[in-house]
Amino acid sequence: MRPLKALISLEEAMHIAMDLVRPIERKETVPILDALRRVSAEDVHSSIDVPLADRAGMDGYAVVARDTFPAGKFKPVTLRRIETLYADGVPRKRVASGRCTEVATGSTLPKGADAVVMVEDTERERDLVKVYSPVHPGENVSGRGEDIARKSLVVGEGEVLTPAKVGALAAIGMPRARVYARPRVSILTTGDEVVPPGKPIRAGQVYDINSHTMASVVRENGGDPVSLGRVSDRLESLRAALKKALANDLVIFSGGSSVGEKDIIVDVLRSMGELLFHGIAVKPGKPTVLGRVNGKAVLGMPGYPTSCLSNCYLILAPMLCRMARLPPPYERIVEVPLAKRVVSTIGRVEFHTVRIVDGQAVPAYKESGAITSMAHADGYIEIPANVDLIEKGDVVRVVLF
């Protein structure tokens, strides 16, 4: 057996891991609705003015502003209505002095007119419109290109497409968006004792938890999980599986990275590529392995479900976000006082699950094998390597699950 000796710090491990992965260069074209929260792969400039032409910003009457200057509450100016437009109406008549055209918000402004009087400031009897308030030229008019000028930048390369940005692409008439491809992540579970959910199980076997939690974290951080199933612990099976898994952008294994004699991920990495680290000063999650094969990162996660999942949050999620070009994980964070003193160990980062109860963080940590300690928790706190104690009442940053 081979004990874990040279543990590296979480900080150093993250440095190596983040340096190893690169933002995905592949691009794809998708309908704008499917582009939500994807990352634009190009600068998008508008090929049109929005609005396409000057248009009414209010319901009312398009006028020659100068005509209205003498108007007042008790001395209306009377204009003759020559046409009525709805929002989609194309004006056919020119508005000369003394005339007006009835417009709806969004109507194209008729030639000759340079302002819109709000309907609230008018009174109409058949085609005679009394205007009770003056307007200045340009008043209640949206100028051509006022929202988006032709050739202006609408969405920049690298920007995440929020609902408003999807809307901006629609505004300039783009039905599709060019986005960066999501990182494809091969997920493998090692261990002859691991059984997929839905099959019968006997003593000595466990259901495959990790490939499901890993795939979930991949999906929540902009990646496409590709589950390749269980691999036997034999060297040749593992080599063959890794060869196949390398077709994708990142490979993660769970199990097989503890200290048992069957811990052969390390041997496979050494023989097929390069071992970058084996063992991190973090609890839980110590027996984590990172290697590089054919220029791709291969991450070996601990077999214990909570160790695997806590490392998914601490290590895998930031790697994925870098590959997916997303900002650091969309962390939903609350800052609340700790309900109870928590003790940690100097020299390693500790990951403690908590529940939020009555506005306080109550430690929910059970033991590293207990998936329920995470399933029943609301989030986690990270205790730095140089801190050995957090007192009751101290405010902690809880990252919500």
Nearer to its own copies, 260 or 384 (CB): 260
Beta strands in 16-113 (DSSP E): 27-31, 44-45, 55-56, 60-63, 77-84, 99-103
Give the Cα separation of 224 and 180 in Å (integer). 13
CB of 349 to its own copies, least distance (A): 19
CB of 80 to its own copies, least distance (A): 18
CB of 194 to its own copies, least distance (A): 8
Yes or no: say if 63 and 100 are a contact pair by the CB < 8 Å rule. yes
Nearer to its own copies, 180 or 313 (CB): 313
Q: Are strands 60-63 and 99-103 parallel, antiparallel or unpaired?
A: antiparallel
Cα angle: 258, vertex 263, 266; to 5 degrees: 100
Q: Are strands 60-63 and 115-118 parallel, antiparallel or unpaired?
A: antiparallel
Nearer to its own copies, 160 or 242 (CB): 160
H or E, element range at 214 = helix 210-220
Nearer to its own copies, 97 or 152 (CB): 152
Nearer to its own copies, 172 or 246 (CB): 172
Nearer to its own copies, 68 or 310 (CB): 310
Yes or no: say if 77 and 130 are a contact pair by the CB < 8 Å rule. yes
Nearer to its own copies, 156 or 384 (CB): 156
CB of 386 to its own copies, least distance (A): 26
Give the Cα separation of 168 and 30 in Å (integer). 16
CB of 384 to its own copies, least distance (A): 23
CB of 101 to its own copies, least distance (A): 13
CB of 48 to its own copies, least distance (A): 7
Give the Cα separation of 87 and 316 in Å (integer). 52
Q: Per the structure block, which two tokens stand in for 105?
A: 């918000």
Q: Answer left, alpha or beta for residue 41, where phi above 0 means left and psi between -120 and 50 means alpha.
A: alpha
Nearer to its own copies, 220 or 388 (CB): 220
Give the Cα separation of 73 and 121 in Å (integer). 9
CB of 118 to its own copies, least distance (A): 9
Q: Which residues contact 389 (CB under 8 A, 6 or more apart)?
A: 341, 342, 343, 344
